Amino acid sequence: MKRLRGVLPMALLLLVAALTWQVQAWRYSAQLAQQARAHAQERQQLAEALASQALGERQQRRALEQQIQANDQSHYQELLDAQQTQARLRDRLATADLRLSVLLGADAVSGVPAAPATGGLDHDPVRARLEPAHARRIIAITDRGDRGLIALRACQAYVRALQR
């Protein structure tokens, strides 16, 4: 019985320690579960924010692509119109429907009239007609210049769109 008296308090002490240990484990696991839920909720909010940001950037990129496509179409149409104008001008030169001429300075004429006078005074500036081969070369040069200017405007519009 004496032995039982020494063992009983020791058993009670061990039982209380084990119960206390178990209660602390439950509390700790509850805290860990709460932290895990808070962490999961934080990750979910972060994921939603990133998805929203990605969607906004995607929409912005799509709008930029549409704007660039519209600019490309307008510049292509401008280029096409310039090419058609140049083609009509070349056709008119080829059929002799149109003759190019250049304005001559007063010192280049040296008193010779540009056309035979029919009477009266001629106050128009003096002009010299160009040969058709020279006119075609000039038209080709201006055609390349027009295409270059159109391409330059298209590049500038593209860079401005990207800067916005």
- pLDDT tens digits for range 42-59: 999 999 999 999 999 999
Strand partners, 101: 129
pTM: 0.49
How does residue 33 score in pLDDT terms, banded at 50, 70 and 90?
Answer: very high
Mean per-residue pLDDT of the chain: 82
What sign does the dihedral 11-14-16-22 (CA atoms) show? negative
Q: Per mean pLDDT, which range of 44-48, 104-108, 144-148 is the poorest?
A: 104-108
Q: Residue 110: is its pLDDT beyond 60?
A: no
Q: Which amino acid is at 61?
A: R
Taking the CB of residue 117, how many other CB atoms lie within 10 A of it?
A: 9
**Coil/strand/helix, residue 57:** helix
What backbone torsions phi and psi does residue 105 show, to the nearest 5 degrees?
A: -75, 160
Does the pLDDT value for residue 164 go beyond 60? yes
